Amino acid sequence: MQTTPTDIAGVSMVGTDRRCDERGGFARWFCDQDLQPELNGARIRQINQSHTRHRGTIRGMHFQYPPHAEKKLIRCLAGKVFDVVVDLRQASPTFLAWRGFELEAGNDRALLIPEGCAHGFQTMSDDVQLLYLHTALYTPEAEGALRYDDPRIGIAWPLPPRNLSPRDLQHPLLQADFSGIKP
């Protein structure tokens, strides 16, 4: 596995080596030893999978507050997504910056997102499946979120937004005095 830093502090693209022959292929999707420099001792505690039926659907932007903050490794199993990270960490040099990354089934890439960043995505195809590896258990009382269309962030979604859940539509805009998530 190879990790490539992105322009958001602490966010990395993780590549895998696929071995192929006439029978098909094999790729290692996760190796704790290979990712420990980025995981800093954290361990995978929960694995989730999502299925999104329709192109253009937006899910997010979600995170968990400390002490239940989590690192996430996101991989696309079917279809294609525009995967978005927003840096909410108070002391980060990329505070309030966002970036979008294309994840697609078969491209052997995953996105590693650090604690203190919000995550969401827009489906670029129908019937998208994502696999999420989390370093913390889901803790409802620690859940945080921000709106997909928050003008302070200004995410440029590639498609017109559709199929947002009522819950995601109710996420608050960042307050003018928001100074970030403390570790």
**Residue 9 maps to which CATH number?**
2.60.120.10
Q: How far is CA 40 from CA 69, 96, 108, in A?
A: 14, 23, 23
- Domain with 34, as residue range(s), is 2-170
What does the pLDDT read at residue 36? 80
What is the chain's mean pLDDT, rounded? 95
Taking the complete model, does pTM exceed 0.75, yes or no? yes
| C-alpha distance from residue 21 to each of 25, 29, 67, 109 (Å) | 6, 18, 46, 20
Number of domains in the chain: 1
Cα gap 24→102, rounded to integer Å = 24
Does 152 map to a domain? yes
Measured CA to CA, the distance from residue 27 to residue 32 in angstroms comes to 15
Residue 176 lies in a domain: no
Rounded Cα distance, 2 and 92, in Å: 24
Catalytic sites, residue numbers: 62, 132
Q: What is the model's pLDDT at position 117?
A: 98
d(CA 14, CA 127): 23
Q: Are 88 and 118 in contact (CB under 8 A)?
A: yes
Q: Is residue 149 part of a domain?
A: yes
Burial class (CB in 10 A: 0-12, 13-18, 19+), 48: exposed
pLDDT mean over 72-93: 98
Confidence check: pLDDT of 105 > 90: yes
Which residues, at least 6 apart from 53, have a Cβ–Cβ distance to it below 8 Å?
Answer: 126, 127
Q: 79-94 burial, b if ≥16 CB within 10 A, otherwise e?
A: bbbbbbbbbbbeebeb
21 Cβ contact list (under 8 Å, min separation 6): none
Q: Which run of H or of E encompasses 116?
A: none
Residue 183 forms part of a structural domain: no
Residue 177 lies in a domain: no
pLDDT at 98: 99
Q: Is 180 a domain residue?
A: no
**Residue 30 within a domain:** yes
Q: Quick: pLDDT tens for 137-170.
A: 999 999 999 999 999 999 999 999 999 999 999 9
The dihedral sign for the CA sequence 103, 69, 58, 50: positive
Task: With respect to residue 32, please indicate whether it lies within any of the assigned structural domains.
Answer: yes
pLDDT of residue 83: 99
